[in-house]
Chains A and B, each alone.
Chain A
């Protein structure tokens, strides 16, 4: 079943107050014609549950507290446990030295400080074209 436009779940840890980045991404993805579902979450399980229910093409999470490694590893595990293959990207305050570990977990893209919304749109378009 092919949708005519990609559907993206954007998720923000509900105790992380940095939301400038995700507001920019949301706007850029909407401008690129994508459909957005935006949720607050307190556990990675909630993200996976929403992603399955909403049948999204990609999950984007934001993290600026320093919890990115912990939350990502649990999230990727949760996806595996549910036997779903939804690509995941992450943005926020993420130091460069953590990128290899995130990539090894299977995260498709890491957008640290200095990244532009357009970079995320380009990658998301590529990924969803391949999988869609």
Chain B
């Protein structure tokens, strides 16, 4: 077999030489993909001779974590959404559910909630520092009343609640648990997800948050609390997406996230947990850009690298610790304002790559998102892209249809190699947190961004409609308008009313307790002592801003990533 393949390859090489190089004077293109991997002009069996056979659902899960793939469980169509007040967002949630947003099927509602920036940082809408951002780019959520406006009438154990809350994951979870208590549910019945990856959001967005060490403590507290009290809660969603959006290559995205994963798991062990008790509830939100096969290979390599690391390094025994679940968010930065319908084509290719890569869940960007939040029409089309691939193409009828492709398999191996180099480099430099705090990671991303810009400016990288094939005509789609001023007034009014309708002596005591407990929580080993204080604060009707304010008070206030590691 090898001999035959070798002969065929040589025959092909001769033809290239004779026909293309000699006769047609064509010099062979030499290409590198985004991860810097040199591409061959064609791949054959010899390129994957060392790749061991594997079936879907088998370790190390390159071909998918389930034997039957989408034939049994189609991917979740989860749309990240949120704007304005709780009621406005709820109207959008209901619209999306009607159009086909769903989990694996058994859930009644899926609320992948984007909150506004003040909520992610911990400012209530009546805080002057929240000026100009309330209800923009997400919903304003600071009280139990706001949660009720979002979730009223849902059977919470059958609701997948996943708020995107940056630095405020822990107080938001405390509020959700208390809201659920008031509705008559126990924490152990709840189902959903916290992002719990503030450090990534801190360096990639440069929005100010708690000091890095405080962020790390809050993360570990959340992991420990959930592992012991809410077994179905996905406590940590390591975010590769924002690295992709800041121009990290696919291999860099994977390598950075793996370095972070390893550091987090080591800390979890220090906090007194067994990896098999908390690793199964890790997952990732992954970026998906335009480099089609490279992105597919990244998803396959991601699962393999995870499984091997959990097996070889942490000796996990629980199969669920090894089976990594991936949610893709299609690349927002690949969208263009010019010729907006082209964005549907981009999203379609990205969803297709995700499906061929075997992901569990997808958020699909809408065609009008280069100018703002999506309209109903645009977001419906984004859902339809998924439904069309699922129901019209037959693509999900076979598990891992690209398995065995010389190119896909070889590229999967190469991406894993490149990602391992990135991961090793970060570990050699002292680990993920160290590389965040000393600015190394942010500098790396800035270099990547500037390099991208240069390639686009000199047309080395073509973006249709942006630097090539422009029409020159302005064909704006109508932007989706949020009434910023009205929303912020309503939200501020509400939280003020909330603050006058409660026992404020109780609030004060609860916040004092939050501060004292945060002070006592001086090392990761003590994880587990802080959440009870936050739960009591939520029961006392403290707002998200007040709980977070108490944390800032004792930990050094807000700091910006761009101020770290500068000369």
Q: Which A residues contact B (CB, under 8 angstroms)? A: 12-20, 23-24, 27, 40, 42-43, 65-67, 69-71, 74, 93-98, 112-114, 116-118
Smallest distance from the beta carbon of A98 to chain B beta carbons, Å?
8
A15–B336 touching, CB < 8 Å: no
The distance in angstroms between the C-alpha atoms of A74 and B484, with both chains bound, is 14
Interface size for chain B: under 10, 10 to 19, 20 to 34, or 35 or more residues? 35 or more
A95–B130 touching, CB < 8 Å: no
Residue on B with the closest CB to A24?
Answer: B453
Contacts of B121 in A (CB 8 A): 15
Interface residues of B in 124-152 (CB under 8 A from A): 128-133, 136-137
A-B complex: 8 closest residue pairs judged by Cβ atoms: A17-B205, A15-B117, A113-B337, A95-B479, A95-B371, A67-B132, A15-B133, A65-B136
Smallest distance from the beta carbon of A89 to chain B beta carbons, Å?
18
Interface residues of B in 197-253 (CB under 8 A from A): 201, 204-208, 245-247
Contacts of B136 in A (CB 8 A): 65-67
A114–B336 touching, CB < 8 Å: yes
The distance in angstroms between the C-alpha atoms of A91 and B223, with both chains bound, is 39
A93–B131 touching, CB < 8 Å: no
Instruction: Using known A-B contacts A65-B117, A65-B136, determine if residue A42 contacts B131 with beta carbons closer than 8 Å.
Output: yes
B479–A97 touching, CB < 8 Å: yes
Contacts of A69 in B (CB 8 A): 484
Interface residues of B in 166-224 (CB under 8 A from A): 201, 204-208
Interface SS of chain B: helix, strand, loop or mixed? loop
B337–A114 touching, CB < 8 Å: yes
A42–B372 touching, CB < 8 Å: no
The distance in angstroms between the C-alpha atoms of A94 and B481, with both chains bound, is 11
If A16-B133, A40-B206 are given as contacts, then 19 extra A-B residue pairs at C-beta distance below 8 Å, sorted by A number, are A13-B133, A17-B201, A17-B206, A18-B205, A19-B205, A20-B449, A40-B208, A40-B560, A43-B129, A65-B117, A66-B136, A67-B132, A70-B132, A70-B485, A95-B476, A95-B479, A97-B478, A114-B337, A114-B370
A19–B206 touching, CB < 8 Å: yes
Smallest distance from the beta carbon of A68 to chain B beta carbons, Å?
9
Contacts of A118 in B (CB 8 A): 457
Interface residues of B in 456-485 (CB under 8 A from A): 457, 466, 474, 476, 478-479, 482, 484-485
B133–A67 touching, CB < 8 Å: yes
Asked if B373 lies at the interface with its beta carbon under 8 angstroms from chain A, I say yes
Smallest distance from the beta carbon of B137 to chain A beta carbons, Å?
5
B476–A66 touching, CB < 8 Å: no
The distance in angstroms between the C-alpha atoms of A96 and B337, with both chains bound, is 10
Residue on A with the closest CB to B465?
Answer: A114
Query: Would you mind naming 25 contact pairs between A and B with Cβ atoms under 8 Å apart?
Result: A13-B132, A13-B133, A14-B560, A15-B133, A16-B117, A16-B207, A17-B117, A17-B204, A17-B205, A20-B245, A43-B129, A66-B372, A66-B482, A67-B133, A70-B484, A95-B372, A96-B474, A96-B476, A97-B478, A97-B479, A112-B337, A113-B336, A113-B370, A114-B370, A116-B457
B484–A67 touching, CB < 8 Å: yes
Residue on A with the closest CB to B373?
Answer: A66
The distance in angstroms between the C-alpha atoms of A95 and B338, with both chains bound, is 11
A20–B333 touching, CB < 8 Å: yes
A15–B337 touching, CB < 8 Å: no
B208–A14 touching, CB < 8 Å: yes
Residue on B with the closest CB to A42?
Answer: B129
The distance in angstroms between the C-alpha atoms of A3 and B133, with both chains bound, is 36
Contacts of B163 in A (CB 8 A): none
Contacts of A74 in B (CB 8 A): 132
The distance in angstroms between the C-alpha atoms of A96 and B368, with both chains bound, is 13
Contacts of B446 in A (CB 8 A): 23
Contacts of B204 in A (CB 8 A): 17
Which of A95, A97, A98 neighbours the largest number of chain B CB atoms within 10 Å of its CB?
A: A95
The distance in angstroms between the C-alpha atoms of A3 and B130, with both chains bound, is 37
Interface residues of B in 477-500 (CB under 8 A from A): 478-479, 482, 484-485
Instruction: Using known A-B contacts A14-B207, A113-B337, A114-B338, determine if residue A65 contacts B560 with beta carbons closer than 8 Å.
Output: no
Asked if B374 lies at the interface with its beta carbon under 8 angstroms from chain A, I say no
The distance in angstroms between the C-alpha atoms of A24 and B333, with both chains bound, is 14
The distance in angstroms between the C-alpha atoms of A70 and B53, with both chains bound, is 59
Residue on B with the closest CB to A98?
Answer: B479
